Chains A and B, each alone.
Chain A
């Protein structure tokens, strides 16, 4: 399918001191035979010579469509456009965000701009967190929580600086925010690169394999804490019903819904349909056929604030074809 021609983009987030730059240096210095363009904001920390390093100012703007959560990184649109003109091709783009950055604008950039969408695909958001200091960061900054909520992959770094009990506690804290991200324990960001890049992290079949079980039905989150929920439907989904439901849901609750991801089995189609959204901005495409004999279970995941489990479950189940 055409998706494989698109250049994968990996977004690297994490607050200052978590080990983001250490990880980036490892990715760039390891001999993996791949060539990456790297977009950074804090040049000088990077210790590796790479002729495809781009230094940028994070420039976020609001889309002029009246939706305040539709924020986009204009600098990335220009940089991706510029990189596409180069003759020497590369295997991926890695975007490092500043420590205090909200990941939404960078993710939304890959949905909103047609030129960017035509050439690249958002592969995964990797968030690096520091096992020792995460509890304190979560207490004092909104961004730390957002960065975990947005992550497809979490590098839980500096595990050597905490006791096994502290590590278990911090992992439980991460899971409370985001049940679905793949967590890697690391010291000095020593995660195998193959586990980080070109993940196709939106393939929920893989992501959900790591899910530690579902919450109970009566769990009804109604506070400012971020939570994550997933739902399944055994019968095929009616595309029209789904579009009507998800469209209305995102329009109404988009500000609270940080990420929405789904793999759907549409009635009468042998291909899997991948759906994803960041706040109100949504995108979807077929991503290849269901495997022979594989149960065609549709799944959807929400990560956000003020999630109403029974309402979301009923809504999703009502999208099944009659």
Chain B
């Protein structure tokens, strides 16, 4: 990257930035791509409007926010906190409590947009609560141990949760409520599902990923990480699984018989700094990656070209999120730096 004049060039010319003063727990654009929200360790949710306008601060949680996702519809988000509250946040800055769970933490939230009926979900201890788009509770799904990761499939038909000794996959609309149980011994700490819904991959305590192919019950083991994977996700076409936890972006090929027996592609490595967050582009074979020293890059997977977005020095990257159309990237760090970068053609 020595030929680049400044690693901050894109941030300087195309970004808006704020020092928010607290750990950025999560970032998410609303479903329409209008605005971006940042959930913080001080319990607030900050909303960055289009352009360089004033960012609203919403007092969402009494304590720390722990999770953030887009709402099911419109200009809205949902957040969970260590105050036990599951909140709906609107772009105008209003915060509405969907449910309060007392002393228990709301550790994970998820949503799905659907033409007919959007869905919201949150994980509280061993329970996953599923709501309609308006926040009316539909059902509660119980797991054998605390839920550590929560994700809807691309169609919103199923919801998958990671926990000890595997993952559970539930049909959201089913009345019978028995999950498909995916078993693998150990503590599973995060989850992703392939766009076609056939592959479930979890991150594990033992610095590895584990996957299940649902169609033929094939197990997939992806190992070799020097540290835990905190972020993982598939590219839009499902060909690649991007993951953090190494000193580069680790991309497992989910085509041509992979990932079994195939080495992963490694991008943006060489500095010996741990990759802490990845976010796949919503349309192209590209991934945004953040590192422990604050560096953020965008990597084109097929050409292996790396574009620096933001240089090191603003705290370990703890959140990355793309707008639905892939024109804007949100960045957040542990020390409270946040930015929204505009990648659209000018």
Quick check: B187 and A65 within 8 Å, CB to CB?
A: no
* CB-based A-B contact count at 8 angstroms: 81
Whether A85 contacts B25 in the complex (CB less than 8 A), given A54-B105, A55-B103, A57-B126, comes out as yes
Determine, out of A74-82, A172-180, A220-228, A253-261, the stretch whose residues face the partner at the interface. Answer: A74-82
Contact residues in A for B82 (Cβ distance below 8 Å): 54, 82, 86
- In the complex, which range does the number of interface residues on chain B fall in? 20 to 34
Whether A113 contacts B206 in the complex (CB less than 8 A), given A74-B187, A78-B107, A82-B107, comes out as no
Whether A85 contacts B64 in the complex (CB less than 8 A), given A63-B186, A74-B187, comes out as yes
A53 to B164, CA, bound (A): 24
User: How many residues on the A side are at the interface (Cβ–Cβ under 8 A)?
Assistant: 28
Contact residues in B for A43 (Cβ distance below 8 Å): 103
Quick check: B205 and A72 within 8 Å, CB to CB?
A: yes
CB distance from A90 to the nearest CB of B (A): 12
Tell me, yes or no, whether A114 is within 8 Å of chain B by CB: yes
Quick check: B205 and A63 within 8 Å, CB to CB?
A: yes
Whether A59 contacts B228 in the complex (CB less than 8 A), given A85-B41, A85-B64, A87-B42, comes out as no
Contact residues in A for B145 (Cβ distance below 8 Å): 57, 59, 61, 74
Contact residues of B between 96 and 111, Cβ < 8 Å to A: 102-105, 107
Tell me, yes or no, whether B227 is within 8 Å of chain A by CB: yes
Contact residues in B for A82 (Cβ distance below 8 Å): 64, 66, 82, 105, 107
Q: Please tell me which one of the listed residues B41, B107, B164 contacts residue A87 in the complex, with CB atoms under 8 A apart.
A: B41
Whether A114 contacts B227 in the complex (CB less than 8 A), given A55-B104, A63-B186, A74-B187, comes out as yes
Contact residues in B for A62 (Cβ distance below 8 Å): 185-186
Contact residues in B for A114 (Cβ distance below 8 Å): 227-228
Which chain B residue shows the least CB distance to A44? B103
Contact residues in B for A86 (Cβ distance below 8 Å): 23, 41-42, 63-64, 82
A61 to B62, CA, bound (A): 31
Which chain B residue shows the least CB distance to A75? B146
A212 to B145, CA, bound (A): 45
Whether A85 contacts B23 in the complex (CB less than 8 A), given A63-B206, A74-B205, comes out as yes
Which chain A residue shows the least CB distance to B41? A85
Tell me, yes or no, whether B269 is within 8 Å of chain A by CB: no
Which chain A residue shows the least CB distance to B204? A64
Quick check: B22 and A87 within 8 Å, CB to CB?
A: yes
Contact residues in B for A54 (Cβ distance below 8 Å): 82, 103, 105
Which chain A residue shows the least CB distance to B210? A64
A87 to B334, CA, bound (A): 11
CB distance from B201 to the nearest CB of A (A): 16
Tell me, yes or no, whether B21 is within 8 Å of chain A by CB: yes
A55 to B64, CA, bound (A): 15
Tell me, yes or no, whether A51 is within 8 Å of chain B by CB: yes
**Interface residues, chain A, CB within 8 Å of chain B?**
43, 51, 53-55, 57, 59, 61-65, 72, 74-75, 77-79, 82-88, 113-115
Beyond known contacts A63-B205, A83-B64: 6 more, CB 8 A cutoff: A59-B146, A62-B186, A74-B146, A86-B63, A87-B23, A87-B42
10 tightest A-B CB contacts, nearest first: A64-B186, A85-B41, A55-B103, A87-B42, A85-B23, A86-B64, A87-B22, A74-B187, A61-B187, A85-B64
**Interface residues, chain B, CB within 8 Å of chain A?**
21-23, 25, 40-43, 62-64, 66, 82, 102-105, 107, 125-126, 145-146, 148, 164-165, 185-187, 189, 204-206, 227-228
Question: Can you list 5 A-B contacts (CB < 8 A)?
Answer: A54-B103, A57-B145, A83-B64, A86-B64, A87-B40
